[in-house]
Structure 1
Amino acid sequence: MTVPTADGGTSRAIVVDRPGVHRLVTGPVPVPGPGEVRVRVAAAGICMSDREVYDGHRDAAYVRYPVTPGHEWSGTVDAVGEGVDTRLTGRATVAEGFRACGTCARCRAGETSLCTSGYDETGFTVPGAFADHVVVPARLLHPLADDADLRAAALLEPAAVVAAAVRSSRPEPGERIAVVGAGTLGLLAVQLLAASSPAELAVIDPRTERTLLATEFGATLIGTPEDAKELHGRYDLVVETAGAPSTAASSCLLARRGGRVVLTGMFTPGATGIDPVLLTLNQLTVRSVFGAPSAAWAFAVRAFTAGLLAPAPLISHEFPLERYGEAVSLVGGGAPGTGKVLLRP
């Protein structure tokens, strides 16, 4: 357990007391407990899940108020707790968000994002990285290269989600692949999928400025949902990243007979269902992704280190902690030119 105590300085954090109410607090620098590390936060991304926490739209089972949000982040280890290798001090790092138990059947099978011991995640049920410091179990760290761009590394959490989708879909060279959605997940997916040498890599999104950015990452065809009607039944693999009410169903329409569909978007109640007749007659394989297991995190970090992932161009705005309210209001607002929004403590 992390015990906040003075160690020669203070630490600031955003606290969302309840939906729509937040404050910037200053207190003692937290001290890591046994098996934990303290990380000085370099950058933390704000995603739609964080906006849902602020607006009160996140399922009550997946948030615990008051909370310091922040599950997409990077930083540098500046203190270690009892039993932790002191050589981690000074290392650039990211860390998994799910506090998986490591002992249940799903964890032992490597599916740590499906831990059956109960949901617990940094930034939702325990303090996250919209702060000067964040404390996490050392076992969840994924250290980075000494010269890593920590600003870009803040996007490794969504990259790990995309990596889970790519690993489960097993793209093969020469396949036709479509990505539905050109948000952060979609553009990261384009980068990873381009590395598999597809014959065609299409990106479908109503926002032209986002699909044009996708061409810089390897997309060979871009279009709107209206354009996509001409592409039904074309793709070996379809990776859905938008989480819009209709995109699960429309993604299945893009897949060829015997094709594969991976759903990574977070859908809300009332989303259009997938036609079971289509699934049966076309023998589609449909998978979903919720979070990222440890292996996907390792995959994403390797791709980042090797230069296959370049998240920095996705960042459009950066704010200090004091401007959290302004920053979170941008996310999901639909303003042109808004990409990934970062907090920089």
Structure 2
Amino acid sequence: MSSRAIVVERPGAHRLVTRGTPTPGPGEVLVRVAAAGICGSDREVYDGHRDAAYVRYPVIPGHEWSGTVAAVGEGVDPGLLGRRTVAEGFRACGVCERCRCAETNLCTGGYAETGFTEPGAFADHLTVPARLLHLLRDDADLRAAALLEPAAVVAAAVRAGGLRPGERVAVVGAGTLGLLAVQLLAASGPGELVVVDPRGARGARARECGATSALSPVAAESVRGSFDLVVETAGAPTTAASSCLLARRGGRVVLTGMFTEGAVGIDPVHLSLSQLEVRSVFGASSAAWGDAVRAFGLGLIDPAALITHEFPLERFGEAVSLVGGGDPKTGKVLLRP
């Protein structure tokens, strides 16, 4: 049986290849991909802007995905066949100090991640270690489940932020991460949940997702120093610094956006005088994945509401060009093999 895949040979060059269906090795499963999301980091891979230490060309991208177990390798429970599933992207070693402390996203055994250094889900099939699977309900919407990877990142941010019921919360950025953060935070009982984004349409979408109000960055200057917790999701050049200005003295700031060189730094004077607690998030640990999958199963988050475009593999070039294009009407873009 044949299987197709998008291969990015080098920055700016991709092709759709037909190959034999991959065979799962010992401890692995073969997954038939149902849907795969395209995110900003996939666009970075395509454009050649991702740090060289975190990509290996040629590569089959695709780290946000869902699917069904189609075959199992040696030593894997055959009861997994036919199960709907997602899987962690980091191929953590499981034995280093960070892994043993449950920080699998910070594994020191060497960086390896589905869709960046290992074949990803912009394909009909992919193989992954069975130990990384997070099984879904039999009636799970696989189209929506493709967004559980960014939802896991948001779950990691919520864990890091330690939200207490009734606190004032701000989310900076209303892209996929920001809107998922609004959904998950709204389920945690905040007293106020404000979204900061320059795009009015995105602000309106955030209110539909559970935000109590939406402000432009200019309007947000009037509420500086007001929030117990600020979750930054935009990764824009100024949003790390501006997020810290939104937090109250003694407040907490969690940075989830992936920043690039040249971003504005956090003012150390403000940091020390305000006694802020600043955390960053890199991907998601196994525990955060568990949180996201449970929230999805309970209906606390609705990833499907964020999907605006769907394309077959043959139209990958058109699909990836939409991501990061600046059109506020473009939400999550999916490939559907």
Partner Cα distance (1:189, 1:27) in 2 = 38
Partner Cα distance (1:130, 1:157) in 2 = 15
The 5 A counterparts of 1:233-244 are 233-244=225-236
Task: Verify: 1:33 aligned to 2:25, yes or no.
Answer: yes
- Kept in 1: contact 2:202–2:328 (CA 8 A): no
1:185 to 177, 181, 202: 177
Q: TM-score, normalised by structure 1?
A: 0.97
Identity, % of aligned pairs? 77
Query: Who is 1:206 aligned against?
Result: 198
1:319 to 303, 311, 315: 311
Partner Cα distance (1:10, 1:333) in 2 = 33
Q: CA deviation at 1:196?
A: 1.4
Query: Who is 1:281 aligned against?
Result: 273
Partner Cα distance (1:257, 1:53) in 2 = 39
Q: For 1:14-35, what per-residue CA distance to the aligned partner results, in whole angstroms no more than 9, with x for missing partners?
A: 0000000000000111110000
Structure 1 unaligned residues grouped into runs of 5+:
1-8
Query: Who is 2:110 aligned against?
Result: 118
AA aligned to 2:187 is A
The 5 A counterparts of 1:273-312 are 273-312=265-304
SS at match of 2:67: strand
AA aligned to 2:283 is G
1:155 to 147, 151, 159: 147
1:146 to 138, 153, 158: 138
Partner Cα distance (2:57, 2:46) in 1 = 10
Task: Verify: 1:56 aligned to 2:31, yes or no.
Answer: no
SS at match of 1:43: strand
Aligned residues: 337
Query: Who is 2:334 aligned against?
Result: 342
Q: CA deviation at 1:336?
A: 3.3
Partner Cα distance (1:279, 1:19) in 2 = 39
Structure 2 unaligned residues grouped into runs of 5+:
none
Query: Who is 1:84 aligned against?
Result: 76
Partner Cα distance (1:243, 1:171) in 2 = 21
1:105 to 91, 97, 100: 97
Partner Cα distance (2:303, 2:198) in 1 = 21
Partner Cα distance (2:176, 2:148) in 1 = 11
Partner Cα distance (1:195, 1:173) in 2 = 10
Task: Verify: 1:68 aligned to 2:38, yes or no.
Answer: no
